[in-house]
Structure 1
Amino acid sequence: MKYFSIVAAFTSMVAISSAAAVEKRADVSVYLCNDRNFTGYCKVIKSPSSVCVPLASDFDNLVSSVGPDPGVLCYFFVNANCNSNGGAFHYGNPGVADLSRTPVNGPAGSTRNYEDQISSYQCFTS
């Protein structure tokens, strides 16, 4: 009987840790639009957390607004395959309504034009 109790306790601990591992890989969503201020052709793209997402032809180099879900941080890349050599920025919710004036690190008010330049992204739960 004692052996059975130990096995049952161990099995429940494994199930709990497995559930936590599955939860960490939950899907994340980002809202993309091809016009500023979240207008024009828009789409919610869902992907597993931490996976690089290359943009399909309907958004590749055509994005003007990005909006990750609450609790999600996304890195957006100019190059495909989440390669930061061409430029990249990160943003959480509510996102950036006008990528032509994307806030970047630097002096207060610094921006960079990323409009119609995004080719891939990678999001993480925060």
Structure 2
Amino acid sequence: MKFPSLSMLSLLFAWCSASTIPSTPRGDDSPFVLITTKTSATMFKAADYPPGSGVYMCQDPNWGGCVEAPLPDLKEHPDAWCVGITGAWDNSISAFGPDKGLLCTIWDASACTGGGYNIRWPGIADLRTVGWDDKISSFWCVADV
């Protein structure tokens, strides 16, 4: 199954304690923006997942209307990370799939707070089956060991 790359969308990285630093916009001007936030505790190490890892997020069940979202490179950013979802994608994800070898926790509030739910590869094609349809506002991932 082939999905559009996140390179079609805008991507921003931001520290909680610093101003947002936008990357070069890629592709069309989509309302979908990822914001990575540094949490207060160092929870993950660079070896926790390989560079280039990512997740698929889809607005329709059964892998319809998907984008691929790369995770931050932990060798460049060794602190703990939470990926917040804003714009049209916030609370509108109906399928979620981490790359093989990842364990992701999805959250119903920004900054990886609120209620959480763990998802392993290959993911969940229809989040309605677990009560999480249109509820994801943030997520984090670690190596599934």
- TM-score (normalizing by structure 2): 0.59
Q: Residue 108 of structure 2 is aligned with which of 78, 86, 89? A: 78
Alignment partners' CA distance in 1, 2:122 and 2:67: 15
Which position in structure 2 is the counterpart of 1:62? 92
Q: Alignment partner of 1:90: what SS?
A: strand
Deviation of the 1:22 alpha carbon: 4.8
| Residue 35 of structure 2 corresponds to residue 42 of structure 1 | no
| Residue 138 of structure 2 corresponds to residue 120 of structure 1 | yes
Alignment partners' CA distance in 2, 1:22 and 1:78: 26
Q: CA RMSD in A?
A: 1.8
Alignment partners' CA distance in 1, 2:136 and 2:57: 11
Highest RCO, 1 vs 2 (Cα 8 Å, sep ≥ 6): 1
Q: Give the number of the structure whose residues are more often helix, by fraction.
A: 1
- TM-score (normalizing by structure 1): 0.67
Deviation of the 1:56 alpha carbon: 2.7
Alignment partners' CA distance in 2, 1:90 and 1:66: 11
Which position in structure 1 is the counterpart of 2:119? 91
Percent identical = 32
Paired letter, 2:88: D
Alignment partners' CA distance in 1, 2:100 and 2:126: 19
